Copies of this chain bind each other. A is one copy, B any other.
């Protein structure tokens, strides 16, 4: 795979950051995007080439081009949405990341197995109504806001609502309701440098739920507002310093457990732990995302943490490119592609 000097991704999610980072590290950059957004990406000087596709159904043709150009494809959060899991896994173009992880990330049961293996604190899960002894949130698989979830305080309330909401057996989970604030921790694990870095931390900005607190309770009730949780942005955050060691340990444990559960490479590159922090200052992990997340878009020029590790502007996008560059230099690219 000598000669690789192009980094490619799909035009969405965190592609600007990935492209700029790649350019900053000296790569050629190539963006595949749907035609209606091509004009947008073309205005940035750090993107060398924009390939338009009318739709991602025809990604196969593009793939050939990417292979010809010796490009390495950097996945992000819209890959599965655009290409589908199957296409994602079967792709032949060099791909940054361990595809085995995809199966573990996309399946809720396996995620929990992973958390358990890693010794990560999570909300308790209840496998039957009888076990409910505290407030729970009941979520439909794949639901986002609206009527896709409900709270229940006890078994009897659960049973009434499960009927009322018409949730089907095996289509929902019963999870302890954790009271606390959401925190998203962005990691980078480099098998090349053999270390885990806390790249940054963010809070999401979600509509309409982040507007509720500005509406007096009587008006919320009067206006009959139901909360929704659609992420439309991110805001910066730093954590209390005394919590950083635990945060880093969490990342290490995940990486370590992944090697045992999946294969010897396990999880590497960027990933994110979605947590709730309670008043006891404990992280409860809700989900892991095994790729670059949109929250890192805040830190194009580096974050309060990445400056500590690198002493130069280092976005997560750039960190990926740096990793690839180092791997190429050390002839270890096959370990991460």
Contact = CB atoms under 8 A, between A and B. Distances in A.
Interface residues of A, number: 97
Interface string A144-181: 01010001011111000000100000000000010111
Contacts of A297: 238, 241, 304
A154 B135 contact: yes
A241 B244 CA distance: 28
Given A15-B241, A205-B181, A219 B151 contact: yes
Contact of A206 (B181, B234, B304): B181
A316 interface: no
Interface in A209-252: 209-228, 230-245, 248
A12 interface: yes
Given A179-B208, A240-B294, A135 B151 contact: no
Contact of A233 (B209, B231, B238, B248): B238
Contacts of A110: none
Interface stretch (A37-45, A66-74, A328-336): A37-45
Nearest to A304: B300
A33 B181 CA distance: 28
Contacts of A309: 43-44
Copies in the complex: 6
A222 B151 contact: yes
Given A40-B248, A132-B133, A213-B212, A145 B279 contact: yes
Contacts of A236: 235-236, 298
Q: Which 9 A-B pairs have the closest CB atoms?
A: A213-B213, A153-B153, A134-B156, A217-B217, A133-B155, A228-B279, A40-B245, A221-B221, A300-B304
Given A134-B154, A145-B279, A230-B281, 5 more contacts: A130-B133, A181-B206, A212-B215, A232-B277, A241-B297
